[in-house]
């Protein structure tokens, strides 16, 4: 692959991964707000309604059972913690995504550290829950960290780009 094509591919993958992170952040903010303003019984009712058909066809459906089990054990304290966590996590992601899309030089190292910390926390949670979803999310986040590093090097790796830094 020629250097120009490689740079274009890295840039495209970076943009796609950052946009996905931004969408994920917006969904986390929405989820956090819902958790703050919706009663746990309402959440359980919605989860049952959404999974009823699937569980009637396959009572052992993994995703439906995890969803039902998760919302059944949602205490007020857990709900507030989850809401604050989702809001904070989502706001950090959206802020970093905005700065990365604006090509703010300071955002690249900060995003690498923040997303790396998310990975560490997810791996810690995996050690307690053994959720395959946390491993998959961690792998995706590691890919975003690598792409962010490569994009940073592509933009600011040589002296000729130093004057473009903001």
Sign of the alpha-carbon torsion through 98, 102, 106, 108: positive
CA–CA distances in Å: residue 163 to residues 102, 105, 156: 16, 11, 9
Chain centroid, CA 139 distance in Å: 11
Residue-wise pLDDT tens digits, 36-93? 888 777 777 888 888 888 888 888 888 777 778 777 766 677 778 888 888 999 999 9
Contact 151, 104 (CB under 8 A): no
| 162 pLDDT more than 60 | no
Q: According to the model, what pLDDT value does residue 39 have?
A: 78
């Amino acid at each position: 692959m020629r250097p120009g094509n490689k740079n274009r591919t890295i840039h495209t993958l970076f943009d796609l991964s950052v946009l996905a992170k931004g969408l994920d952040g917006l969904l986390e903010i929405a989820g956090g707000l819902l958790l703050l303003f919706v009663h746990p019984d309402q959440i359980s009712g919605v989860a049952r309604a959404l999974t009823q058909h699937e569980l009637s066809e396959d009572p052992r459906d993994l995703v439906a059972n995890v969803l039902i089990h998760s919302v059944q054990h949602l205490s007020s304290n857990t709900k507030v913690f989850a809401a604050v966590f989702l809001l904070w996590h989502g706001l950090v992601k959206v802020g970093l995504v905005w700065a990365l899309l604006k090509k703010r030089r300071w955002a690249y190292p900060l995003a690498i550290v923040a997303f790396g910390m998310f990975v560490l926390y997810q791996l810690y949670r995996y050690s307690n829950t053994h959720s395959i979803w946390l491993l998959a999310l961690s792998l995706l986040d590691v890919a975003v960290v690598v792409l962010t590093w490569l994009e940073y090097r592509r933009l600011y790796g040589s002296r000729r780009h130093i004057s473009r830094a903001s």
